[in-house]
Amino acid sequence: MVGLLAVLSLIVPRSASAYLDPGTGSFIIQVLLAAVAGVGYLVKVFWNGIKNFFSSLFSSKRKTPPEGMSTNHDQDQKGTS
Q: What is the pLDDT of residues 17-39, one digit of tens each?
A: 778 788 998 999 999 999 999 99
Q: Share the mean pLDDT of the chain.
A: 81
Tell me the residue type at 19.
Y
Residue 71 CA to residue 69 CA, distance in Å, equals 7
User: For residues 55, 59, 64 and 66, what is the CA-based torsion angle, rounded to 10 degrees?
Assistant: 170
Q: Tell me what the mean pLDDT of segment 49-53 comes to.
A: 89
Phi, psi of 15, rounded to the nearest 5 degrees: -125, 145
Sorted by where each begins, the domain ranges of the chain are: 29-54
